Amino acid sequence: MRRNVVLLGAGVMGQGLARHFHRAEFQVAVVDKSPVALERMKHSLPELTIAQDLTELSDEWKSPDLVIEAIPEILALKADLLARAEAFFSPHVLIASNTSGLTTADLCRDMRHPERLAIAHFFNPADVIPVVELVASAQMPAERLQQLADLLRASGKEPAVLRRELPGFVANRIQHAMMRECLHLLDQGVADAETIDSIVRWSLGVRMAFTGPFAQRDLNGLDTHLNIAHYLYPELSAARTPSEILQAKVAEGALGRKSGAGFYKWDQTTLARAKAAEAALEALIRQETQGASGVAQQGEQD
């Protein structure tokens, strides 16, 4: 029998999730209050079931293998929809939130059965990036989270279970620590965005495609890392508020690709180049996740 999943939200993440589960041969239903978002989804994947509200789903959708919430990162919206989802779906159905960093304790505040809630943090594009960070609510039994991990692995993902939850989980904490320093370098006029991108891309970036930070440090030597850490840590940004450059960009509407400009200008040429790079990344990920371990392929690096 085909597995099935209900996606709540047909935005950036909902679209990627729909492509992922469709490719994994799940039956997919998508609920979004925006007819435009649903139309876009139906246009790219005509086989999907779509609905503007949970109550429009037929009874056969009341017991899916999984429900994933992917609506905007606004706690009040999410808490309300999760409580409605709990009342709509059969009691045994597991509900996962794709929040970027909110905690289950906050998300389940209006739920009567928080043991049904977990976080399944997919990365964008959700049909390409393998890892999904998983966090159980305090009330969820370990075996239920294991069921979720097994289901996602069966769909082709690499679930990573966190032992306890904290805001931002693992990846967003690391991403924001790195971006705080990148923006600090930019604020200080040390280099422009293009130069910083080039340095990161062709040093840390390429090797991180094949090895994690700890394995990479083992390769370098922990004594060397410690010597550097002693003098460098006091020099690094410890800013408690977002950088001025970032705040100014957002204030002027330079939001990145979606507005045509961010740190770069996005026109047809630069967009085509970025899309070609993304296609190459997707091919690399598929080759790596279907073939040999990446760590085994690392060479001598510094």
Fill in the DSSP letter of residue 279. H
What is the footprint of ligand NAD within residues 42-81 (CB under 6 A)?
70-73, 77, 81
CA 162 to chain centre: 15
Burial of 35 (0-12, 13-18, 19+ CB in 10 A): exposed
Q: How far is the CB of 33 from ligand NAD (least distance, A)?
A: 5
Exactly one of 98, 103, 137, 243 binds ligand NAD (CB under 6 A); that residue is: 98
Query: What does the buried/exposed string (b/e) look like for 245-260 if buried means 16 or more CB atoms within 10 Å of the residue's CB?
Result: ebeebeeeeeeeeeee
User: What number of residues does the chain have?
Assistant: 302
| Residue nearer to ligand NAD on the CB measure, 32 or 165 | 32
Of residues 113-172, which lie at the interface with ligand NAD (CB under 6 A)? 123-124
CB nearer ligand NAD, residue 48 or residue 210: 48
Binding mask 16-45 for ligand NAD (x = CB under 6 A): ---------------xxxx--x--------
Contact indicator for 117, 144 with CB cutoff of 8 Å = no
Least gap, CB of 257 to ligand NAD (angstroms): 11
Euclidean distance between CA atoms 143 and 133, whole angstroms: 16
30: enclosing H helix or E strand: strand 27-31
Q: Decide: is 9 part of the binding site for ligand NAD (CB under 6 A).
A: yes
Residue 11 or 156 having the CB closest to ligand NAD:
11
Amino acid at 182: C
Q: How far is the CB of 50 from ligand NAD (least distance, A)?
A: 11
Nearer to ligand NAD by C-beta: 9 or 114? Answer: 9
Structural tokens at position 82: 């999760």
Cα end-to-end distance, the chain, whole Å? 50
Among 14, 114, 159, 168, binds ligand NAD (CB under 6 A): 14
Nearer CB in complex with ligand NAD: 42/207:
42
From the list 8, 85, 134, 186, which residue makes contact with ligand NAD (rule: CB under 6 A)?
8
- Cα 46 to Cα 81: distance, rounded to the nearest angstrom: 25
Point out which residues bind ligand NAD (CB under 6 A): 8-14, 31-34, 37, 70-73, 77, 81, 98-100, 123-124
